[in-house]
Amino acid sequence: MKPILIEEVQDILETFENKELYFHLETTSGAYAAQNKEKLAVGAYIRNGSLQFTNVKIAGSGPFRVGFKLKEGWMYAEGLTDYQLDDGRLLMAGHDDSGRLAIAVQLSYTPFD
Predicted confidence (pLDDT) at residue 32 exceeds the cutoff of 70: no
H helix or E strand, kind and range, residue 73? strand 73-80
What is the C-alpha to C-alpha distance for residues 71 and 55, in angstroms, rounded to an integer?
10
DSSP 1: -
Read off the pLDDT of each residue in 3-26 and give the average, rounded to a whole number.
97
SS3 track for 73-105: EEEEEEEECEEEEECCEEEEEEECCCCCEEEEE
Alpha-carbon dihedral sign for residues 80, 77, 111, 17: negative
Predicted confidence (pLDDT) at residue 105 exceeds the cutoff of 80: yes
Predicted confidence (pLDDT) at residue 34 exceeds the cutoff of 70: no
**pTM higher than 0.85 for the full model?**
yes
User: What is the CATH number that goes with domain 2-108?
Assistant: 2.70.180.10
What is the chain's mean pLDDT, rounded? 91
Cβ contact 56:71 at 8 Å: no
Summarised one tens digit per residue, pLDDT across range 42-93 is 889 999 999 999 999 999 998 999 999 999 999 999 999 999 999 999 999 9
Give the rounded percent of residues in the chain with a pLDDT score beyond 90: 77
DSSP 93: E
Name the residue ranges covered by the structural domains of the chain: 2-108
